[in-house]
Amino acid sequence: MMVLSLPPEHQPTVPATANLPTEFGTFTLRAFVDPIDGAEHALLSVGDLTKAHAPLVRIHSECLTGDAFGSLKCDCGPQLRLAMRTIQKAGVGAIVYLRQEGRGIGLFAKVQAYHLQDKGYDTLDANLALGLPADARTYGIAAEMLHSIGVDSVRLMTNNPLKRKGLVEHGIHVEDRVQHLAGQGRHNIRYLQTKAERMGHILPMGGV
C-alpha cells in the first residue's frame, strides 16, 4: 500500500502545549493548527509515548451535541469519556480530537440532518438527502499529529475500519484494533444499526 504524507508546508504547526487536569486525571494537551484550512485540533496524552510500543490511541471526531451537551442520539460523548478513562488507567496513550463535526459536514448541516432524522430518515440517508457525503472525514492530519510526537505504531480504539485505513494510508502502523463500546441505548439504536449495517462499523447489535 502506498503511504501518503502531507508536504512540509501542509504539516501541522508546532503545537501549543499545557497540562490539563480533568475528572479522569491529568493529560498533556497539545493544540495544533492545520495549515491547509486553519482548523484547530487537539491531542490529549498520558505518559511517555516515545517509549511505549504501540500505545492505545483513540481518534475522536468532534461532536458538540454528544461531547458537550450529552446527546443520547449518538454514542460520541460516552466514547470520549471511556477513552479518557481507559488511557489514564493504562498510564500511556493518546486521544486525537479532530474538529470534524458531524462526520465532517459541520454543525449547521448536522442539525439539518437531525431534523430529517426526526422525520424518519436514518443518519446516512439524512446526509445524502442534503446533498452531503455520508462521511466526509479524513485522517491525514491525525497521522501527522501522531508522527509529530514520535508515535508511528498504535493500538487503535475504534469500531470504524475507515479510521484504521486512514491511519495506515498515512504511515501509522495499527498493531491491533481495540473494540470501543459505550453509550448504547434506546435513543440511538437506529443510529448504531445504520453504522453497523450500512457503514461497516464493527458493532455487536444484539445487546442494545
User: Given 34, 67, 75, 135, which residue is catalytic?
Assistant: 135
The position carrying cell 481518534 is: 59
Catalytic residue among 30, 58, 103, 137: 137
Q: Is 85 part of the annotated catalytic residue set? A: no
> What is the C-alpha separation between 39 and 146, in angstroms, rounded?
17
Return the SS3 of 33. strand
135 is catalytic: yes
Query: Which ranges constitute the DSSP H helices of the chain?
Result: 76-90, 101-104, 107-118, 123-129, 140-148, 161-169, 189-198
Contact 167, 144 (CB under 8 A): no
35-41: list long-range contacts, CB under 8 Å, 24+ apart. 35/9, 35/10, 35/11, 36/10, 39/99, 39/141, 40/99, 41/12, 41/96, 41/97, 41/98, 41/99, 41/141, 41/142, 41/145
Give the catalytic positions in this structure: 135, 137
